Amino acid sequence: MHTYYNIILLLFAVCSLTLAQNYSRGSDLSFVESVYVKLSGACRAMVDLSGTSGDQNELISTLKIVQLAGNTINSYPINESFVALTQPSVFDITKQTKVIIHGFRDSSQSAVPLELAQAYNDKQMFNVLMLDAEEMLGKRYISSVRNARLVGKRLANLLANLENFGANAEDFHLLGISLGAHVAGWAGKYFKQYKAKHLGRISGLDPAGPCFSHAYSEQRLDKTDANYVDVIHSNRLVQGVIEPLGHSDYYLNGGGPTQPGCFMPSCSHLRAAQVYTESVKTPKSFVGVRCKSWKHFQANACEKDFSVLGYGSSTTTRGLYYLRTGGSAPYGLGMDGTKATRTTNDYWFRTLNLT
C-alpha cells in the first residue's frame, strides 16, 4: 500500500505549482480535493501513456479462483475454473455467490480478504469464491491499474459462463477491496456486455482513489455496474476515492482520511473491509443515518432515515449515510453510531430482522 505515496508525491511535485495557480475558489471542491482530483487525472494519463507490456494471455493465466466450502479450500487456475466449479456437487446454482476481490499488492490469502470470505463461508448459505490476482495487481501501481480492466474482463467471462450453467445473475455479489473494487466494476461492465443484464450487487470497500477519483463512469466502479452498488468510505483523500460512487455510500467517521485507532493510512484504508466483515458476523452492528455531510452529522442535523451497512444493507437504499465506529474491534456501535452524541429512540433498530 505504501507505493501509493510514492505516486502521489511524484505527481504532486509535477503538478502542484500549476494547481495552485489554476484553483478556483468557486469550485464545489476544497483546495485539497481539487489537488487530489488533478493528481488522479495525471495518474490516469500515466496509465494511458504506459501502454501494455508482455503477453496479456500469459498474464491472465496467472489468475486463480479460490473456493471456500466448509473446511475445504480449493484453488483453480482461472482457465480451468469453470470446468472445476461445474463438477457435480461443487457449485450450487440455487445459492447466492459471493466473490471477494483483494486490492493492490495483496492476495486472496492475505488476512483481510480471507477473513471476509471466511465470514461468509461460516454461514453455510453461499457459494464463496475469491479471485486471486496477485501477479496482475502486484506490480507497479500504474501497471496494476491498467491490469485491473483485464482482470475484471476475465472474471466477467467466468461469471457469464456460470450464468449459462444455470446460476442467476441476480445472485452474483462481488466485494472488492481498494483496487479490487474497480476490478468488480469492470466485471460488472463486461458482464452486461456479454449477457445484456446486470450483476446483482457490487460492494466497494474503500475503492482506490489514485487514478480513479473524478474519472468517467466508464473508467471506475459506478452505480450502473450492478443492480445495487454499495460503497464504504474510510480513507478518502489518501488511498480512497473522494466522491460517492454507488446507489448508497456509507462514510465511516466522515469517510476519513483517518479512522479511530489508526496511525498509518493503510490501517484506515482497510478498515472498510474489516467493518464489512464484522457486519457479516453481526448484521446489526453498523447503522448509518442519511445526511448531507459530515458537518451536518456532527451537528446532529440529519434526516431520520436509517440504513444498515454491509451484510444487511437493503438493495433499495439510496443516498449518503454517515456513522461513527469504535477505534478497535468490535467496531460497531449500532444505533449509537448514528449520532454525534449518545442517543435516542432505537425502536427501528430493535425491530429490525436480519439473518
Q: What is the pLDDT of residues 97-112, one digit of tens each?
A: 999 999 999 999 999 9
Shared domain for 81 and 13, answered yes or no, is no
Q: Is the pLDDT of residue 347 over 70?
A: no
- Tell me whether residue 143 is one of the annotated catalytic residues: no
Instruction: Name the nearest CA neighbour of 65 among 125, 155, 146.
Output: 155
Shared domain for 29 and 131, answered yes or no, is no
Q: List, for residues 211-245, the tens digit of each pLDDT value.
A: 999 999 999 999 999 999 999 999 999 999 999 99
Shared domain for 168 and 233, answered yes or no, is yes
Q: What single-letter amino acid sits at 101?
A: I
Shared domain for 39 and 81, answered yes or no, is no
What is the percentage of the chain residues whose pLDDT exceeds 90?
81
Cis peptide before 244 (omega within 30 of 0): no
Selecting among 178, 248, 307, 313, the annotated active-site residue is: 178
The region of weakest confidence among 46-60, 171-185, 189-203 is 46-60
Shared domain for 26 and 60, answered yes or no, is no
Shared domain for 121 and 38, answered yes or no, is no
Q: What pLDDT, on a 0 to 100 scale, did the predictor assign at position 351?
A: 61
Give CA–CA dist 130/177, Å, rounded: 12
Higher-scoring residue by pLDDT: 355, 331 = 331
Give CA–CA dist 87/97, Å, rounded: 16
In the predicted model, what is the mean pLDDT of residues 21-47? 78
Shared domain for 255 and 310, answered yes or no, is yes
Q: Is the pLDDT of residue 90 over 80?
A: yes
Shared domain for 202 and 328, answered yes or no, is yes
For 48, the 3-state DSSP assignment is helix
Report the relative pairing of strands 226-233 and 172-177 from DSSP bridges.
unpaired
Shared domain for 39 and 91, answered yes or no, is no
The per-residue pLDDT of the chain, averaged, comes to: 90
For residue 207, tell me if it sits in a domain. yes
Shared domain for 323 and 211, answered yes or no, is yes
Q: What pLDDT, on a 0 to 100 scale, did the predictor assign at position 303?
A: 86
For residue 79, tell me if it sits in a domain. yes
Strands (DSSP E) found in 13-77 = 64-69, 72-77
In the predicted model, what is the mean pLDDT of residues 26-39? 83
Q: Is the pLDDT of residue 4 over 70?
A: no
Q: What pLDDT, on a 0 to 100 scale, did the predictor assign at position 56?
A: 87
Instruction: Name the nearest CA neighbour of 3 among 199, 137, 132, 164.
Output: 137
For residue 306, tell me if it sits in a domain. yes
Number of domains in the chain: 2
Give CA–CA dist 179/171, Å, rounded: 23
Domain membership of residue 312 as a residue range: 56-350
Q: Is the pLDDT of residue 35 over 70?
A: yes
**Helix 31-50 crosses helix 3-22 at what angle (to 10 degrees)?**
120
Q: Is the pLDDT of residue 153 over 90?
A: yes
Shared domain for 88 and 219, answered yes or no, is yes
Selecting among 132, 206, 225, 230, the annotated active-site residue is: 206
> For residue 3, what are the contacts with CB-CB under 8 A and spacing of at least 6?
104, 105, 140, 141
| Residue at grid coordinates 430482522 | 353
Q: At which of 50, 66, 83 does a domain end?
A: 50
Q: Is the pLDDT of residue 199 over 90?
A: yes
Q: What pLDDT, on a 0 to 100 scale, did the predictor assign at position 19?
A: 43
For residue 355, tell me if it sits in a domain. no
Q: At which of 15, 30, 50 does a domain end?
A: 50
Shared domain for 43 and 97, answered yes or no, is no
For 65, the 3-state DSSP assignment is strand
Selecting among 182, 198, 269, 285, the annotated active-site residue is: 269
Q: List, for residues 268-325, the tens digit of each pLDDT value.
A: 999 999 999 999 999 999 999 999 999 999 999 998 899 999 999 999 999 999 999 9
Q: What pLDDT, on a 0 to 100 scale, did the predictor assign at position 26?
A: 41
For residue 249, tell me if it sits in a domain. yes
Look up the pTM and report it: 0.90
295: domain CATH number?
3.40.50.1820
- Tell me whether residue 122 is one of the annotated catalytic residues: no
Question: Would you place residue 53 in the very low, low, confident or very high pLDDT band (cuts 50, 70, 90)?
Answer: low
